[in-house]
Amino acid sequence: MTTTSLQERPIQPSSSEIRVLPDKLGIDIELVVVFLSLLSLTGQSIKYLTVYDEAFGLIPLVNMGKTLSIPTIFTVLLYFMAFLLLGMISAVKLADKDQFRWQWCGLTGLFLYLAFDRGTALHTYVFKLVRGWVSGLLPFFPYHRWVFSLGLVLIILVCFYLKFFKALPKETLKRALVSLGIYYLGFLLIERFGDDFAAIYSTNSFVFSILLTLGKTLEMSGLAAATYTLLKYLELTIPEISLEL
């Protein structure tokens, strides 16, 4: 991706240039998410309903619950794409000494961590570390993972991002809340219902695989919506930046 001033660009893109269109890219990403979800469900159906446990290694390759599967790698790319877009916005905000430049930088750092974490499962260690630290300061803080994470997110939003969200354009704020809601719904489905189901029936079941796939699909859809939101924000508020591939 390159950053180019409008004054330096021709009115019409050249034949060797591919312009990034937010609407088209958002639809394309979501179509890929749906395809990967169906592929994962097909693989799990073959595993649990036939005699082929791995189908020559193809089923783990498309399983959304596996760390080094195609859907997981695609999810890492979505996180990294959001990180790059946030990095571009943060660079502009820092140059302009914008009031909320540090909030943008915070989001940039968060998505860089999430991209790394999604491919390495670092969150298992980090969550235990953070929960132990918070529990030491606030013994009454909820222990369950999904309640703990929601409470921590709300505290961060209220303390550091409340004014930031209020200052966003209405359309951007609406899209951001929708993408956050979809993303957290996936997390809730996995952590709340998936883990409870696994505790009773184990993770080696077709129903658990369906719950896990739905949760991961919602996570990826939330990331797709977040990417679309950032692209539209760039288009709306920083028109001097054009994105080219």
Domain boundaries, the chain: 6-10+17-237
Q: How many CB atoms lie within 10 A of CB 156?
A: 12
Question: By the 8 A CB rule, do 244 and 2 touch?
Answer: yes
Pair of tokens at residue 53? 């446990």
How far is Cα 114 from Cα 75, in angstroms, rounded to an integer?
Answer: 10
Q: How many secondary structure helices (H) and strands (E) does the chain include?
A: 10, 0
3-state secondary structure of 19: strand
How far is Cα 52 from Cα 80, in angstroms, rounded to an integer?
Answer: 35
3-state secondary structure of 82: helix
One-letter identity of residue 239: P
pLDDT in tens, the chain (245 residues): 444 443 444 444 444 445 668 888 889 999 999 999 999 999 888 888 887 777 767 888 988 878 788 999 999 999 999 999 999 999 999 999 999 999 999 999 989 988 888 777 666 665 666 666 666 665 655 556 656 666 777 778 888 888 999 999 999 999 999 998 999 888 777 766 777 777 777 778 888 888 888 888 999 999 999 999 999 998 888 766 655 54
Question: By the 8 A CB rule, do 197 and 211 touch?
Answer: yes
3-state secondary structure of 238: coil
Question: By the 8 A CB rule, do 71 and 220 touch?
Answer: yes
**Facing residues of 19 across strands?**
244
3-state secondary structure of 244: strand
Nearest residue to 87 (alpha-carbon basis) of 113, 114, 115, 106: 106
Question: By the 8 A CB rule, do 64 and 217 touch?
Answer: yes
- To 10 degrees, what angle do helices 70-95 and 22-49 make? 150
145 burial type by CB count under 10 A (0-12 exposed, 13-18 middle, 19+ buried): middle
**Facing residues of 244 across strands?**
19
Pair of tokens at residue 220? 């990826």
One-letter identity of residue 142: P
Q: What pTM was estimated for this model as a whole?
A: 0.79
216 burial type by CB count under 10 A (0-12 exposed, 13-18 middle, 19+ buried): buried
